[in-house]
Amino acid sequence: MIRIAFIGATGRLAPVVINEMINNGMYVRALVRNRNKAMKLLPNSVEIADANLEDVNALVSGLNGIDYVYLNLSTESPDSTFQPELDGVSNIIKACKQCGIKRIFKISGLGAFRKDFAQGKTIFVNEIRIKGQELIRSSGIPYTFFHPSWFMETLEFMFQKGNKIKGFKPIKHPIHWIAGKDYSRMVINAIKNKSIENKDYIMQGPESITMHDALVRFSMTFSPPLKVSETPIQLIKIIGLFIPKYKIIGMMGEYFTDFKEEFIADQTWKEIGRPILTIETYRK
């Protein structure tokens, strides 16, 4: 049985990946800061261990007896004194070396793999993420990075508000949206293949769809359909001058305005499977 520690288990898409791990006979231990939240979100079969990325000793305790580590970390502010995807990764590497971890798996992002897709733009999330990944690459521990395009679930947990759905305007180029279930299935295939090490997998969905068309197609999966609208990114940036959370949303929106994503997942599909779910089917 593969024994895997999941760090970042209370993130939005984490339960989808964890359920797929369990369904494939893996033993999952979630290293968490908030035990109560984890117990509400995760299946009973998941072992929960208390750990904090700032505490190497707690990480060592949580990783004892584990084969692999899966990292589902986030970078939420450029001003944080402790960055999970950099400082946290550094501490995780120290703990992994002490515990003899055989492989690190980490979700990343397409922009952190192909900076040129952003047409010269950059964003703090990717800059920090790239530095953390370089630490893993140079650690000597075998790794696998997953670089997804936009998740279809974003339409639901980020843009849907009741009977309305609001996206960004303008996001000029099509996006290869991928469903969390497809992503999870492909991740499991990578974990099971012990011969594949030190790889970057491009996680793109089966269709290239504009933001507008994705919003409309998603809205039509409801009865009655959701009301579709798109908020100008410049307006979000102005609101961000007064409401901090909108500042980060505005930065993300501006970064993706000219993001020109090419399809580059051919090798990924050959090695760990191809996605099959569409915006119409992923919620079923």
Q: What is the mean pLDDT of residues 16-40?
A: 96
Q: What share of the chain has pLDDT > 90, as a percent?
A: 95
Give the pLDDT confidence of 164-181 residue by residue, as tens digits: 999 999 999 999 999 999
Give the pLDDT confidence of 47-98 residue by residue, as tens digits: 999 999 999 999 999 999 999 999 999 998 899 999 999 999 999 999 999 9
**pLDDT of amino acid 244:** 85
Do 45 and 22 touch, CB atoms closer than 8 A?
yes
**pLDDT of amino acid 134:** 98
Q: What is the mean pLDDT of residues 193-211?
A: 95
**pLDDT of amino acid 165:** 97
Is residue 130 over pLDDT 90?
yes
Give the pLDDT confidence of 252-277 residue by residue, as tens digits: 999 999 999 999 999 999 999 999 99
**pLDDT of amino acid 20:** 97
CA dist 155 and 214 (Å) reads: 8
Instruction: Tell me the C-alpha to C-alpha distance, in Å, between residue 276 and each of 108, 193, 204.
Output: 21, 21, 11
Structure token digits, residue 64: 């004892």
- The count of other CB atoms within 10 Å of the CB of residue 197 is 12
Q: Is 100 left (phi over 0), alpha (psi -120 to 50) or beta?
A: left
**pLDDT of amino acid 195:** 85
Instruction: Tell me the C-alpha to C-alpha distance, in Å, between residue 125 and each of 89, 129, 210.
Output: 14, 6, 23
- The reply to whether omega before 170 is within 30° of 0 (cis) is yes
Q: How confident is the model at residue 153 (pLDDT cuts 50, 70, 90)?
A: very high
**pLDDT of amino acid 23:** 97
Grouping H, G, I as helix, E, B as strand and the rest as coil, residue 262 is: coil
